[in-house]
Structures are given as structure tokens and as C-alpha cells.
Amino acid sequence: MKTQSLGRVLLIAASVLIVATIACVIALTPSPAEHRLVQRDAAVLSDLEQLGNAVELWQREHGQLPPDLVPVVAQPGVALQLAPADGGPAYVYRPIDARRYQLCAHFLTDTADKRFGHPYPADRAHPAGQHCFTHQAPAIAAATVSEAADVAGDAAASDTDATAVAQ
């Protein structure tokens, strides 16, 4: 009889351990809704990266940071997201000085929350709520700016030549 009661105790203990393990896994696993929030924030980070690339391209072409995003998005062939696809608050661009600028967005999750797995690099870490990332655009060589001016001058001269020929 002792063998039966010992077996029964072990069976109950094993069952309790299995139930506790399942409960821990469920408690520590993000819900589908939380997973959607993480995916949304990943999309916001991607949008900000594209905006940053476009700002720095504009800076290389014009020799300075743009005053706002209007001239950046007005360029032909440029399609940038200025707000999250879910209708959240619009992204914010702030020039700080000749080379530094901020891109800000509202995030729904905190990257420090380990439940969501995959740690973010320090330059992409953010809390839940409004957060700004400060970027530094590469220095523009003086030759690059003067070359751009020369190209613009050559184009204007070509237009003048073409107009003179047409007359």
C-alpha cells in the first residue's frame, strides 16, 4: 500500500509541476495583441530609418539639413511615411544644428521589456511613449557642395543655350 501511495504522490507532484510550467510559459509569452504592438513599433523604426536616409540624402545634395520634411518629401520619386500606418501621431523632425537632427515618434512598447525577446541595438532602444533619436549627418566636403553648384550652373547654362538656339 505504501508503494501505491508513493506512486500517487509522485503522480500528483509531476502533474502540479507540469501545470505550473505551462502557467509560467503562458504568463511569460506575449499575447498576440502585444506581438502586434511590437511589430507596429518595428515598422515605426523602419519608417524613421527611411526618413533619416532621405534627410541625409537631401543634405548631401543641398549642402545643409532641410528646415523641415516638406522639401524632402516633395522630391520626385520619394514616398515616405510621415506617420505610422495605424493612424498614430505624426513623426517629428527637428534640425538641431548644421549636422545634427532629431526624429521623434510615439512608441507603444518599451524595448527594455524582455518578454518581447530580441534585444534592440542601443541606437534603436526606446521607451513606451514619445521618444526622439538624435542623428548626426556626415560632414559634407566643400567640393561636393561646389560640384553640386557647378552642376546646377551647367544645367542653367544648357537651358539658356537651348533657349537661344530655339529663338
> Could you tell me if residue 77 is inside a domain?
yes
Q: Are 37 and 108 in contact (CB under 8 A)?
A: yes
> Could you tell me if residue 22 is inside a domain?
no
Write down the pTM of the prediction. 0.68
Using DSSP's 3-state secondary structure scheme, residue 126 falls into: coil
Domain carrying residue 66: 29-136
Using DSSP's 3-state secondary structure scheme, residue 139 falls into: coil
Count structural domains, the chain: 1
> Could you tell me if residue 120 is inside a domain?
yes
> Could you tell me if residue 161 is inside a domain?
no
> Could you tell me if residue 159 is inside a domain?
no
Q: One digit per residue, pLDDT tens: the chain, 167 residues?
A: 566 787 788 888 878 788 777 776 666 666 777 888 889 999 999 999 999 999 999 999 999 999 999 999 998 888 999 999 999 999 999 999 999 999 999 999 998 887 766 667 778 899 999 999 999 999 877 554 445 555 455 544 444 444 444 44
> Could you tell me if residue 34 is inside a domain?
yes
> Could you tell me if residue 152 is inside a domain?
no
The Cα–Cα gap between 69 and 83 comes to 12
> Could you tell me if residue 116 is inside a domain?
yes
Q: Which residues contact 61 (CB under 8 A, 6 or more apart)?
A: 148
As given in the structure block, the three cell numbers for residue 157 are 547654362
The Cα–Cα gap between 106 and 123 comes to 16
Distances (CA, A) of 6 to 16, 20, 80, 107: 15, 21, 68, 54
